[in-house]
């Protein structure tokens, strides 16, 4: 079933799913900002060891942000515009310090951001499962795997830096 068909057959469920996807989109935007704060901070050591990993994560997050918006549009919904200040209050993901200096704390903050974003992905997955919407289920499953991998990579990076 196409997403537009899903909306016509399950209008209330589609509205709830679009609302959850909108929350996810906001969380992804805050998360991506956190990744970029680390990625472009050249004072943070070891910059050259972290940069390739952060670049991959930034690209994946950008792609996922685009896909969530596209997913909403294909359902016939428009993502909500948010003011940056208002978005921070509504987001589950905690914004990081704007000028991180401690690599261990920064990696810990990034892992926490992944975990917070993973909670939102799980909420969307649960609703899609309840509504039996296969496109969203597949997408959230992939995004969940990417976030768990990111947590693993940055946890191992933090451990390696401490040894």
Residue 101 φ then ψ, to 5°: -125, -25
Q: In terms of pLDDT, which residue wins out, 1 or 154?
A: 154
Of 26, 31, 14, 27, give the one whose Cα is nearest residue 136: 14
Residues 5-17, mean pLDDT to the nearest whole number: 77
How does pLDDT run across 97-144, given as a tens digit for each residue? 666 667 777 788 888 888 999 999 999 999 999 988 888 999 999 999
| The two three-digit tokens of residue 80, written as one number | 């909500």
Angle at 93 (CA atoms; ends 88, 97), nearest 5 degrees? 75
Task: Answer yes or no: are the C-beta atoms of 61 and 25 closer than 8 Å.
Answer: no
Assigned fold of 3-162: Ferritin (1.20.1260)
Place of tokens 């900002």: 33
* DSSP type of residue 108: H
Break the chain into its structural domains and give their ranges: 3-162
């Amino acid at each position: 079933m196409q997403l537009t068909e899903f909306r016509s057959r399950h209008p209330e469920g589609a509205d709830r799913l679009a609302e959850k996807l909108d929350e996810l989109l906001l969380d992804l935007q805050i998360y991506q900002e956190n990744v970029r704060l680390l990625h472009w901070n050249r004072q943070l050591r070891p910059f050259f060891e972290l940069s390739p990993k952060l670049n991959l994560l930034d690209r994946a997050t950008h792609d996922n942000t685009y896909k969530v918006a596209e997913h909403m549009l294909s359902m016939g919904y428009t993502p909500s515009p948010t003011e940056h200040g208002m978005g921070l209050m509504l987001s589950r993901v905690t914004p990081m310090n704007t000028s991180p200096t401690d690599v261990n704390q920064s990696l810990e903050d990034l892992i926490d951001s992944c975990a917070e974003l993973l909670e939102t992905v799980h909420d969307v997955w649960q609703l899609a499962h309840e509504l039996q919407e296969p496109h969203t289920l597949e997408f959230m499953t992939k995004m969940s795997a990417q976030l768990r991998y990111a947590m693993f990579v940055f946890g191992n990076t933090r451990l390696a830096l401490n040894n």
